[in-house]
Homo-oligomer: A and B are copies of this chain.
């Protein structure tokens, strides 16, 4: 299907994408200027990194080509990963509120029979092609980027890629081939029906689970677990590490962690920390999962009944083809080794997104793609993603950036804490309706212990904000800017923060809390 000289509208794109997904024999989608097969870069993979990288290169006047096996751009995010996760987390928040307020105020008695994982998966599946269509449309019509979709790329050498029966030449290759969920090889039964990860959940779920065992303690484990449980699917998390205290997450403040994990337990989730999966059991070799055997931290083995096992053990990048064809270096963690310009060890070969080290998050995917492009186009630009704001969802939105209280105390003499509920002993904080803010007003006025937690970590000497930590709703967007402000060379002092114009009842009270202390030459806790 050559769309180069056509301008499909969104409806036509949806139809083309859905037809292509349904038929394994469907033809490639070509949006290329066939007269000239030579490109500044071929982006192998049109996910977040490839799409943003290519768009940036084109905006700079370069000529990129994206090749993707899927019939759409945007990669796994809108197809299997962040977008469904966010729908599920929004449903979890809503279901959680409807449960706590069951038969109170304007909330009817909660009817657990209405809440269905399967139905929400289907809601997502029915709508996901819209986002795909938009990205195909935008990338062609607004961003003027060439692409070949629904065609698997074969890397021939560092300057040659074939796809859709054509050969493309490029000065550079940018590898953005994504990652896939980890399946541990040493746990028998993980190949049974009834065992899912976040990919197979949306692609394959065909029944309504009633009990869930999650293996793993990653963000995905917490996020999907909180969602499953909120629907009424009793959920047990089996994690080697304490939740939120895994190597993959940095800067997790202990008070924040306790509020968040405590909140999961308060809602009835079972969380087995220090526990290891032994096997997933069912009838015969291919029967659906009926239980999971788990070794507890005590050493005892228990069998957990379940009709739904979910793996949340992280992801590993898809590196095999590129390693074989190009000889790029892969690190001990399975990620492609790159420098801060996203260059691999092979000249002209860049790697981006989930293929490289660092958080498998959107900002890193997109900015690593852009970094590759800007360097290819002659800029000398480094992208350092060692510090970044982070988040996860339970039935809450949890966001953090910068140092934890413990990290700050370990590094500095004078650390000041400003938080809600306040940093004092002996106050009846569970019954205190604070923080009271947009998104937790109803909780604050009837179930105050559910109204969230927030903490600011400040250097008592320089008065600079070192870290910010939040559990509630509506603050995540702000952390993009807080991250920028506290990591700029001059940082952000409590005095600058306290002089900002708050939009009351702001989800994080950092502006006004800072202002209540900023008058002090010698700062104190609040």
- Which of A's residues lie within 8 Å of B, judged by CB? 9-11, 52, 55-60, 77, 82-83, 86-87, 89-91, 94-95, 97-98, 105-108, 111, 114-116, 119-120, 123-124, 126-127, 130-131, 134, 137-138, 141-143, 231, 361-363, 366-367, 370, 373-374, 385, 388-391, 397, 399, 422, 424, 426-428, 431-434, 436, 438-439, 441-442, 444-446, 448, 473-485, 496, 499-508, 511-512, 515-521, 526
A310 to B506 Cα, complex, angstroms: 27
B501–A388 contact, CB under 8 A?
yes
Query: Considering the chains assembled together, what is the distance between the CA atoms of A10 and B367 in angstroms?
Result: 49
Residue of B nearest to A436 (CB): B131
Question: B518 touching A59 by the CB < 8 A rule?
Answer: yes
B107, B367, B476: which contacts A506 (Cβ < 8 A)?
B476
> Bound complex: CA of A60 vs CA of B60, how far in Å?
52
Q: Across the interface, which residues of B come within 8 angstroms of A441, CB to CB?
A: 83, 86-87, 89-90
Cβ–Cβ < 8 Å partners of A370 in chain B: 515, 519
Contacts of A130 in B (CB 8 A): 431-433, 448
The complex is assembled from copies of this chain, and their number is: 2
Residues of B within 8 A of A439 (CB): 90, 474
Inter-subunit contact A131/B499 (CB<8 Å): no
Task: Report chain B residues within 8 Å CB of A526.
Answer: 142
A134 contacts B432, C-beta separation under 8 Å: yes
Whole-angstrom distance between the alpha carbons of A124 and B436 in the complex?
Answer: 12
In contact, B86 and A105 (Cβ under 8 angstroms): no
Are the CB atoms of B503 and A479 closer together than 8 Å?
Answer: yes
| Nearest B-chain residue to A399, judged by Cβ | B503
A130 to B435, CA, bound (A): 12
- Are B82's CB and A504's CB within 8 A? yes
Q: Are B438 and A362 in contact (CB under 8 A)?
A: no
In the complex, chain B residues whose CB is within 8 Å of the CB of A397: 438
A56 interface neighbour in B108, B506, B515, Cβ under 8 Å: B515
Q: Contact between B476 and A473 (Cβ–Cβ < 8 Å)?
A: no
Contact for A477 among B390, B433, B477, CB less than 8 A: B477
* CB nearest neighbor in B for A113: B106
**Minimum distance in angstroms from A226 CB to a CB of chain B:** 15
In the complex, A222→B409 CA distance in Å?
47
Give the distance to chain B from A462, nearest Cβ to Cβ, in Å.
18
Q: Which of A367, A389, A478, A499 has the most CB of B within 10 A?
A: A478
